[in-house]
Structures are given as structure tokens and as C-alpha cells.
Amino acid sequence: MVRIGIIGAGRIGKVHITSISTRIKDAVIKTVADPYMNEETKRWAKSMGVAHVTKDYKEIIDDPEIDAVLICSSTDTHSPISLEAIRAGKHVFCEKPIDHDVEKIKEVVAALEGTGLKYQVGFNRRFDHNFEAIQQAVAAGKVGKPQVIKITSRDPEPPGIDYVKVSGGMFLDMTIHDFDMACFLAGCDATEVYVQAANLVDPAIGEAGDVDTAVITLQMENGAIAVIDNCRKAVYGYDQRAEVFGSEGMISISNDSQSRAVLSNSEGVTAEKPMYFFLERYMEAYGKEIAAFIDAIENKKETPLNVMDGLRPVLMGLAAKKSYEEHRPVQISEIN
């Protein structure tokens, strides 16, 4: 039985508490820490079987009974808490990104060397049944040599401006998942990024120095070209699609919806809108990624996404930002 401490009881922290409490048999949550812990969250955590709640995350770091730490706190705390947990001899699951600063991520890489500790980064989309299916087909050679990869990722509504100001920008907040997915589907890293982007959804996002709409082209190591299109607002819901075209065929996935029912009548043909947002679309994937993390600990296996998998999309995000600012293609090696 793996004993877990969860740092951060916000939206994503609650997702993992729910997953572990209801879906994971080989793990138990001993402590949940959040500096903003209130009575409502405390009662909810207790109802989910959490043994102890606190406002001080160091209780988790210092507890010799806790085997693994889930870092679900704000992005600026991810790498510092990762280092503290590693030094305390604990396995780490860290929500993306590890940090916006490449050098700080490299500190985590160095701290892990020789420890034997497991470190997994929270790119949950790899565990979604749709994306798993397309990746497995590509890896099995069913479409031949990948030539064009297309990823559509559009949110149902933009985040609040206060969040935009601290998010690191769309490329490091939203597109980072798509950068990871491009590498996942291609089976290799990207070498070059080129961006066309604009502020078309909310003027306040532009005033905060960010963009909300982008088309991104990636040159992959295996020669394939990947195209990502992003928008912070799609009025019809959470738009998550992908396609891989290769020398021997094509495979694509469409959006999930509550049902596949299609109504056909004199007024037209109508289907349901996509699931509204990531909590609806990816709840099962969140559970599967934690199950994989626990399995790696218990069976001394490699985690499916390690610290280097966490570094790669950050490099791509920084390259995308540079491409947008300088109006040119940017080699990943310029950032690395």
C-alpha cells in the first residue's frame, strides 16, 4: 500500500483525491495540505477518507510514513516542492509544468539522479482512451510513416484575467498539453517551432500580454509535420481532436459527448455538443495516470512520463513564445 500526501486542495487536487479514494486500490491518502484549507474543504476531504488535513505542506515532506507526494499547488511551487520531496526520499507526481524556468527543471533532473525515486508529470491526455487508441495504432505502424499530425485544442471559455497574468502565457499553460501530445503521437521530439498567433477572443488577454488564438507548426525529428490549432473559446464546448496521416493511411479521433445519439427530423440533423471541459472529458484519464504512478512505485517500473517528458513541452512552449515575438521559426536547440 502506497501512502500518499497531496499538496494543494484546489480543483486539480480534488480531482486526484477523488480518483485515489474511489478508483485506486493500492494507495491511501494520509494527508492533504493547502495553505487556504477551510472547514468546507476539510469536511469534504474527511468524507473522502483522508486521514489528516493541514495548512502546512511541510508536514507531508517531514512525515516518514508518506511514500509519495502529489504536487497540485500553484505552478511557482512545483519545482521547489519537488526538490524538497526528493531530498526527503519521496516519490513525486507533479502537475504540469514542473516550472517555467528551464534551469529550475534541470535542478529537479539533477536531484533525481541516482536516487531510484519515481517522478511522473501530469500530462493526463496520454491516458485518455481516444488518444491512447490513436497513439497505439501509429506505434504499431498501421498508418505507415507519419507525415502530418493535426491537433485541435480549444477551450469552452477563457480563464480569468488574474489567472492569465500568472499562467506563463497560453503556450506554457494551454498549448503545453498539445506539445506533449504531438511528441506522444509522433513518437519523437520536435526540432523546430513556428507560430502565428493573435488576440481575438478577449481584449483583456491581449492587455495582459498574452494571445488567445494560435496556429503552431512543428517539425518533428522523424520528418513529420505537426500542426496545432488553439483557441481559448469555442462556443460549442471543449474541442479535442487529433489526426495522424501517414504513408499507409490515416487515423483520427473526434470529441467525446454524453451520448452518440443523433436526432434527424424536418428541422435538420442534430447531435450533442462535446463534453463541456477537461473535468468532464478527462476524469477517467486522471485516474489512469495515478494508477500508472502507483504501479511504477509498487513494481519498480519506469513512470510513463518522467522528468524529461516534463522538460520537453516547456522547451517547446518557450520556443513558441520566442517564435511569436520574433516572427520566425525557432529551433528547440536555441532554448535548450
Distance CA 165, CA 193 (A): 24
* Residue whose C-alpha is closest to residue 257's, from 243, 270, 244: 270
Domains of the chain with CATH codes: 2-117 (3.40.50.720), 126-278+313-335 (3.30.360.10)
pLDDT in tens, the chain (336 residues): 999 999 999 999 999 999 999 999 999 999 999 999 999 999 999 999 999 999 999 999 999 999 999 999 999 999 999 999 999 999 999 999 999 999 999 999 999 999 999 999 999 999 999 999 999 999 999 999 999 999 999 999 999 999 999 899 999 999 999 999 999 999 999 999 999 999 999 999 999 999 999 999 999 999 999 999 999 999 999 999 999 999 999 999 999 888 889 899 999 998 888 888 887 889 999 999 999 999 999 999 999 999 999 999 999 999 999 999 999 999 999 997
DSSP helix/strand/coil, 64: coil
CB 292 within 8 A of CB 303: yes
Q: Could you tell me the sign of the dihedral formed by the alpha carbons of 103, 100, 177, 225, in that order?
A: negative
The grid coordinates listed for 231 are 483557441
How many Cβ atoms are within 10 Å of 75's Cβ, its own excluded? 18
pLDDT tens per residue, range 63-86: 999 999 999 999 999 999 999 999
pTM: 0.94
